[in-house]
């Protein structure tokens, strides 16, 4: 029988388990026994079927929910060697993971102090209801202890930005701020209202089908929503950029990289890593975007020199020359700097892994601007498909259309490459698929490219996570494996729609 927690079954039918931390004299602080009993209790609950267990309420006896780690336990831990501390940390992490993966919703009832490890319990609960007087904080940092064990769960709950602000200082904050950062879902006044709010949350769960509730929780946990949104945005950007590039150059083998966008991003990232020591995607995403933009501008300036202006052939030749020069710089820098090579090789394969919504929010305005400009060029591009002279006769402004097209491609492909790295074949293959469906009308080609590209990219991402599970094959590799045969099949079709 547990000695530090109470487990009770509540009506109706005992399908709701109430797990109460029962050390009110020390504000329900953690020690080795609490950790072991919490883990074993939730492991046992997880083995119950959908008709036996529908929800779990996690509460704390007395005035506090959980005030973190027990002082006596921390003093004892200071006497342990490295191996002993690692074992304690692994035991605590295993406990949080067991609660986090509980197949039924966990509703946390929070009053008083929720500090340190108590914050971790809030992070792994599905619904957190707090009394207005509750206080939160990562107070272990003020004791010289890192919130290392709880950090993966907390960051997943509140996001990196809030974690950066709250972890270092250890300052306490109230329930309303906890609600604003996403740690708490509802704040109520008084203990009676707290019980009513918990009961209401449980009633909502019991009103749904048992199997559906478990499946819904599994979906939220397993489907990577930020990753999917990043994949959608990057796919749309690459599809539109590829269609625009092929239309502008009237070259069915052109892809967005022909303007030097990917080479510019790669050179900028290597520079950021080697010269400034940046290693996180969000840290060097702006360098990648700036490098892509500068490379595109240089290509356009070189391609537009002379009386002929920026013709498709001149742009392609300028892009090839700039790409060759930037690739030589990138290869040289990575050969001379091992750290830069290690970071660069993870980026250059193209991946959606580890990209959160904060990165997407940074480049989102550029993606939207590029998409708007690109879609607005559909009619002029239809006119230019007949040739420059015919396009002018139909009222198209050739120089303006090419300049705006280059801007749109730079914004779209630059932002996509900065976020996910160079992902090949998407911008090359998808426009051919769109033309096979809709014909040469750029209004439909652009629309279908924006639709088909994210489908291809997300399908490749899913395949990469399945075929070598539990490891992962990066999406850039999978798109190459899928895109190459699809592209070969498309170009071998006798009746493929022409540009």
State the Cα–Cα distance between residues 365 and 355, nearest whole angstrom. Answer: 17
- What are the DSSP calls for 90-109, one per residue? HHHHHHHHHHHT-SS-EEEE
CA neighbours closer than 13 Å in the CB half-sphere of residue 208 = 17
pLDDT score recorded for residue 463? 84
Task: Write out 336-388 in H/E/C secondary structure.
Answer: HCHHHHHHHHHHHCCCCCCCCHHHHHHHHHHHHHHHHHHHHCHHHHHHHCCCH
pLDDT score recorded for residue 494? 46
Contact 208, 333 (CB under 8 A): no
What tens digit of pLDDT does each residue of 148-167 get? 788 888 888 887 778 888 88
What tens digit of pLDDT does each residue of 362-409 get? 888 889 999 999 999 998 888 887 777 777 777 778 778 888 988 898
Residue 235 pLDDT > 90: yes
Q: 């509540």: which residue's tokens? A: 10
pLDDT score recorded for residue 278? 75
State the Cα–Cα distance between residues 222 and 327, nearest whole angstrom. Answer: 38
Q: Which residue has the higher pLDDT, 56 or 418?
A: 56
Structure tokens at 366: 């550029």
Reported as a pLDDT band with limits 50, 70 and 90, residue 470 is low
Most confident of 358-362, 368-372, 410-414: 368-372
Contact 238, 416 (CB under 8 A): yes
Residues facing residue 127 across a β-bridge: 107
Nearest to 278 by CA among 343, 367, 210: 343
| End-to-end CA, the chain | 75
pLDDT score recorded for residue 312? 67
The domains found in the chain, sorted by start residue, are: 5-221 (3.90.226.10), 225-491 (1.10.3470.10)
pLDDT score recorded for residue 282? 67
pLDDT score recorded for residue 397? 80
State the Cα–Cα distance between residues 210 and 110, nearest whole angstrom. Answer: 25
State the Cα–Cα distance between residues 487 and 484, nearest whole angstrom. Answer: 5
Structure tokens at 403: 């300049």
Contact 122, 184 (CB under 8 A): yes
State the Cα–Cα distance between residues 274 and 350, nearest whole angstrom. Answer: 20
478 Cβ contact list (under 8 Å, min separation 6): 460, 461, 463, 464
pLDDT score recorded for residue 469? 59
Q: Which residue has the higher pLDDT, 202 or 400?
A: 202
Give, as one character, the DSSP assignment of residue 208. S
pLDDT score recorded for residue 140? 78
Query: Mean pLDDT across the chain, nearest whole number?
Result: 85
pLDDT score recorded for residue 310? 62
Q: Which residue has the higher pLDDT, 272 or 78?
A: 272
State the Cα–Cα distance between residues 121 and 100, nearest whole angstrom. Answer: 9
State the Cα–Cα distance between residues 187 and 193, nearest whole angstrom. Answer: 9
Q: Which residue has the higher pLDDT, 237 or 340?
A: 237
**Portion of the chain with pLDDT greater than 90, in percent:** 34
pLDDT score recorded for residue 104? 94
Picking from 94-103, 191-200, 420-429, 461-470, which range would have the lowest pLDDT averaged per residue? 461-470
Most confident of 9-23, 214-228, 379-393: 9-23
181-193 average pLDDT score:
94
Strand pairing report for 135-137 and 113-115: parallel
pLDDT score recorded for residue 308? 64
Reported as a pLDDT band with limits 50, 70 and 90, residue 237 is very high
Question: Nearest 5°: phi and psi at 129?
Answer: -115, 125
Tallying the residues shown for the chain, one arrives at 499
Q: Which residue has the higher pLDDT, 444 or 79?
A: 444
State the Cα–Cα distance between residues 56 and 107, nearest whole angstrom. Answer: 6
State the Cα–Cα distance between residues 435 and 444, nearest whole angstrom. Answer: 8
Residue 289 pLDDT > 50: yes
From the DSSP assignment, how many helices (H) and strands (E) are in the chain?
Answer: 21, 9
State the Cα–Cα distance between residues 330 and 262, nearest whole angstrom. Answer: 11
3-30 average pLDDT score:
91
191-203 average pLDDT score:
95
Contact 423, 348 (CB under 8 A): no
The answer to whether the peptide bond before residue 470 is cis (omega within 30 degrees of 0) is: yes
State the Cα–Cα distance between residues 77 and 81, nearest whole angstrom. Answer: 8
Residue 136 pLDDT > 60: yes
Strand pairing report for 127-131 and 186-188: parallel
What tens digit of pLDDT does each residue of 73-132 get? 777 777 777 787 788 888 888 999 999 989 999 999 999 999 988 999 999 999 999 999
pTM of the predicted protein model: 0.57
Residue 256 pLDDT > 80: no
Dmax (CA) of the chain: 89
Contact 4, 33 (CB under 8 A): yes
Q: Exposed (0-12), middle (13-18) or buried (19+): which is 186, by Cβ within 10 Å?
A: middle
């Amino acid at each position: 029988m547990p000695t530090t927690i109470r487990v009770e079954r509540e009506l109706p039918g005992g399908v709701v388990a109430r797990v109460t931390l029962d050390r009110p004299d020390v504000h329900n602080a953690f020690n080795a026994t609490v950790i072991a009993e919490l883990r074993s209790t939730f492991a046992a609950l997880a083995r119950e079927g959908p008709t036996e267990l529908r929800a779990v309420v996690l509460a704390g006896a007395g005035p506090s929910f959980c005030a973190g780690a027990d002082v006596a336990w921390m003093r004892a831990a200071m006497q342990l060697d490295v191996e002993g501390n690692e074992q304690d940390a692994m035991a605590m992490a295993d406990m949080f993971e067991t609660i986090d993966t509980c197949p039924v919703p966990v509703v946390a009832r929070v009053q008083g102090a929720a500090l340190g490890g108590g914050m971790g319990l809030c992070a792994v609960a599905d619904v957190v209801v707090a009394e207005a007087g509750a206080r939160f904080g990562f107070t272990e940092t003020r004791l010289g202890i890192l919130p290392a064990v709880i950090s993966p769960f907390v960051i997943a709950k509140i996001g990196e930005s809030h974690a950066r602000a709250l972890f270092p200082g250890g300052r306490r904050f109230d329930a309303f701020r906890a609600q604003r950062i996403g740690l708490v879902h509802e704040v109520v006044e008084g203990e009676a209202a707290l019980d009513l709010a918990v009961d209401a949350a449980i009633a909502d769960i019991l009103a749904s089908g048992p199997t559906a509730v478990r499946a819904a929780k599994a979906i939220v946990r397993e489907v990577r929503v930020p990753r999917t949104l990043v994949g959608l945005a990057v796919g749309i950007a690459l599809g539109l950029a590829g269609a625009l590039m092929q239309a502008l150059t009237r070259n069915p083998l052109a892809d967005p990289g022909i303007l030097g966008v990917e080479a510019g991003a790669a050179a900028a990232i290597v520079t950021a890593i080697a010269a400034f020591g940046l290693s996180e995607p969000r840290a060097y995403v702006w360098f990648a975007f700036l490098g892509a933009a500068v490379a595109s501008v240089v290509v356009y300036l070189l391609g537009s020199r002379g009386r002929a202006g920026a013709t498709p052939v001149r742009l392609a030749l300028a892009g090839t020359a700039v790409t060759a020069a930037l690739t030589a710089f990138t290869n040289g820098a990575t050969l001379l700097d091992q750290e830069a090579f290690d970071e660069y090789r993870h980026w250059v394969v193209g991946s959606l892994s580890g990209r959160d919504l904060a990165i997407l929010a940074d480049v989102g305005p550029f993606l939207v601007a590029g998409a708007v400009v690109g879609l607005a060029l559909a009619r002029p591009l239809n006119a230019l498909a007949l040739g420059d002279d015919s396009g002018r006769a139909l009222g198209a402004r050739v120089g303006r259309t090419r300049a705006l097209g280059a801007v749109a491609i730079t914004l779209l492909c630059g932002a996509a490459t900065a976020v996910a790295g160079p992902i090949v074949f998407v911008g090359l293959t998808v426009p051919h698929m769109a033309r096979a469906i809709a014909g040469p009308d750029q209004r439909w080609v652009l629309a279908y490219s924006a639709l088909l590209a994210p489908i291809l990219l997300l399908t490749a991402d899913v395949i990469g996570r399945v075929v070598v599970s539990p490891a992962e094959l990066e999406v850039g590799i999978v798109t190459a494996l899928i895109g190459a045969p699809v592209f070969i099949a498309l170009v071998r079709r006798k009746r493929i729609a022409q540009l």
